[in-house]
Structure 1
Amino acid sequence: MMDAVTSSLGAWLTHTLPSETTITFDLPDNGTHAGVASDAQVSAYLYDVREEPHRNSGVLSVRDDRAQLTGRQDPPRVFQFSYILTAQGRNALARQHLLGAVLQAGGCRHALPAEFVATSLVERGIRSMALAVAPHDALAATHLWAASLLPPGPALSIALLAPLVPDIDYALAPAPREVSLGIGNSDLPDAGITRRSRSGGRGRIEETPTAMRGFMAG
């Protein structure tokens, strides 16, 4: 998967940069830029891969066109691939021009165009990858300078987010032929339980007015 992500980035860089530009994926040797009148070259070096902290949980249900369950699948896991880009050219301005072209093209979009995604990724359902140019959490080029891994000069960081899609598990238990819920007439004996019937209504109560009671008493 790592090489497919890098190849996808290389295809986009080839489309973005001038046709005479050479794309490599190696860390340039220290001193490469000094006094070398070479053709334009951009190196995209993969220096870090890590999983995104926000991860989905649970299991996904896979269904066919008739909405029948055919398998189960774990949710995708997203990984960030971080690259540091350096340029080689006749002078400092030429190198800045190459990296500036990448910055301008990548700064205008949030994802790598689908036509540049490697075929092996598309076959696994990955048709697009989020693209970040000069992300805030990128490794500073000065760290590589201090370690003598990168010659001093302009550098540009790029990050791609690619999901790792797990395989579908088609080994499902067969569906039951029938399901009994235990609802129906009970076969238990009556056990001598006596049911009381509802009593009749109360009789009608009639009241006699006070005047009438006095008349009747006299």
Structure 2
Amino acid sequence: MEKATPLLVLVLLSLASSLTFAADPSPLQDFCVADNMSPVLVNGVVCKDPMLAQASDFFFPGLDMPRNTNNRVGSNVTAVNVVQIPGLNTLGIFMARIDFAPYGLNPPHTHPRGTEMIVVQEGTLLVGLIHFQFNVGQTNAVAIAALASQNPGVITIANAVFGSNLPISYDVLAKAFQLDKKVVDFLQAQFGPKN
């Protein structure tokens, strides 16, 4: 009977544990073209009748066209989401073309509802993942960013901190960033409502 005890325990444990299968559910339909004219409000965008889908629902002209980078940061973001391409609805995709001038940057930012992937099409791009800052080397660069979210949102750190509509106290900003109050005043003037 002593030899049967370990075997009995093993059999009881195997019966007590159950097999689990996990998988992503298949979508209910192949595509869900956004119906931006629908009065129905949902968390997302309502699908239009698939029989009314058109080729233009899956196309956005202009991602191949360079954008003007003659601005304060030396970059230009062309965002493409379900508004521009209704056929992206429910796919969890947001894309952007980012054009950079030499030494241009995409200001430090975060996407609270998305994960970002960047493909550099031309030039050299230095990316800081800790601060989400995209710096460009000595050549122009074109990057394509894809985010794993239909609406990833974006929060530009400098604008949020120094340009908020209800200004953050000088004392708080000076202490948090270890800056002189005059520097905080200067930064708030750069990012404030006037700019």
**Which TM bucket (shorter chain)?**
under 0.3
TM-score (norm 1): 0.18
Q: Which has the higher contact order (CA 8 A, sep 6+)?
A: 1
Q: Which has the larger radius of gyration?
A: 1
> Could you state the TM-score of these two structures normalised by the residue count of structure 2?
0.19
